[in-house]
Structure 1
Amino acid sequence: MAGASGGALAAEVTAAGAFGFLAAGYLDPESLQKELALARGIFDLAASDRLPVGVGYLAWKLEKSMDAEAEQMLAVALDNHVQAIWLAFGVRIDKWIRYIRTYDENHRRTDPTLIFVQVSSVEDAVVAVKNWKVDVLIAQGNESGGHGYRAAPPILTLVPSILHALPDGAPPLLAAGGMSDGRHVASLLTLGADGVVLGTRFLATTESLYTEAQKRALVAAKSGSTVRTMAFDRARGTLEWPAGIDGRALYNSTVKDMEEGVDIHVVKEKFKKGVQDGDPDRMLVWAGSGVDLISRVSSAKDVVQELHDVAVERSKVSRKFYTGN
């Protein structure tokens, strides 16, 4: 959700009854502070009040920075007393977990920051639970939009496998990957997940930082429109991701040119112009595999309500089927 989920989207999702995260992504401390201030203003909270949103960090970005710079980025969220921090895609995630917990201890927080950690394998899930004692675990399947591990199993395989491996008393497990409507939500809850994470559906909201051209492209996408690729990272020069990671986005001529070996400088120039012109055949639109179920741009509040209503209705049908009533 980097470049899409800012303070307004996170706050409106929480206000609607879900829990919103804003993406630190490639932001600097000043920009992150601005987004958090926007969220706080929407809730009309004092500076000392707990801010009921989370902030998501790319752990590899923290690890590429000097320790002081990384800690400054984390401190922006912690100083704002956010309710949760989400960590993903790093090799030293335990280091940042220790920093967050030490910060809370030093500030004598009676309501410590919840730590969410994203995983894509059973092995990483077990480490996160047993060694790092995370508060919430997120299982990201291969269907997920944006970046993820290309070798990750589908979410319908990953969730049961993780649940089978976790000890009794394990933290809540959230499912992420390819979900766009309430039927997806109901199915993963039935499968045993404690909750679900949706990203792509919230890209097509009025509060999303995506451009209008990107939102139109999401609404126009069909089944099979997405592809896992590093083409866009090559085109925009963001190749620092750890090994094994690529991104799921809408397929277009940028990807096609990369696949056909077009000179990288030509691809970059066409990509840059496509972004400037809002050309869907060139620009980047991250999207999960369920993007074809998005038929319109709506407010975050309306999306949350629709997801809830459909999930509740489908859950009732499931219970009726299993009980025979």
Structure 2
Amino acid sequence: MSTRQEVVVLFGGTGVIGRELAQCAQAGGTSVLSISLDPDHDTAAYSNRLLDLSTAPPGAISRLLEDHCGTSLRVVTMVDVVGLAPHRIDEVADYAQRAGASVAMVSSSLLYRPKPDGIYDEAAEVVTPDSDLFPYQRLKLAQEQALSKRSDVAWRIFRTNHVIGRGGLLGCIPDHNRDPDLLDRITRGAPLKLARKGKVQLSFVHARDLAEGLLHLCAIETTAQRVMNLVHPVPALASDYFQLLAYHLGAPAPVIEDYRPDDGNFWSLTAADNILVSQRPELDQLRFQFDLGGALRDALQIDPGSYASFGSFLAQRIK
């Protein structure tokens, strides 16, 4: 009797997080199917299928998965990286229920209701649909609600904050969140305008550590139907973040000017301390490869001329 090859399905598998998830899954001996806007592509143990999830007809995901897997592949985990619309999440969960697969979602710490100390565990209060929310928050909340209502599926929601990786835009607080001009500004010695002069604490994680942690936790039964905060255990100080960037670029330490963001701007949410901790004992097993300096150093291992072209999808989605 032949054994079906296990496959991890990634929705949005060609971005910063998706690429690391694919590499980690393959390193563990699992095949990968990415569903994204990139052209169809096949290599050993990896496939990408082009599907516009914003316009595809109902049932398109299930048909694609059934055609791809046939009788030789078995879906074990499906990971929503890109942020599927709630009705798509229902379709994914329906397929997972039939296939006996689990579903994981990468979500955001910006769903926690702000509080003075800026420290959030999984029991912290979350914003509600009747709150005054930015579109990004409203969408993320609806996505989480669509998945967490499914008692018939082994789902897991991973809330994270400021993911750093190759191909992602850098900059962690106003007025330089995900700034395509940031590296050029630092190299030129231009001053940086930072909320609270950079004295903002925030959690971060390198995309590879996020990927390895997510896949590890998805294999543990006791984490099913749980929300988990997944970040590096040591938060960063924003001013240190920008100083380290300058150091790795071989530039002088930037001059930092105080900046007060407009409350009506989405990025104003990141002007307050945002420190994630976890109550889940399973996270104590995780080992993180990248501290802040290592994460930034790795993120800079790209062609400098290409930096500003990365992250355009994120820039379009977040408002």
Query: Which range, TM-score by smaller chain?
Result: 0.3 to 0.5
If each structure's strand is expressed as a fraction of its own residues, which one has the higher value?
2
Q: TM-score, normalised by structure 1?
A: 0.36
Query: Which protein, 1 or 2, shows the higher relative CO under an 8 Å CA cutoff with sep ≥ 6?
Result: 2
- Name the one with the larger helix percent: 1
Give TM-score scaled by structure 2 length: 0.37
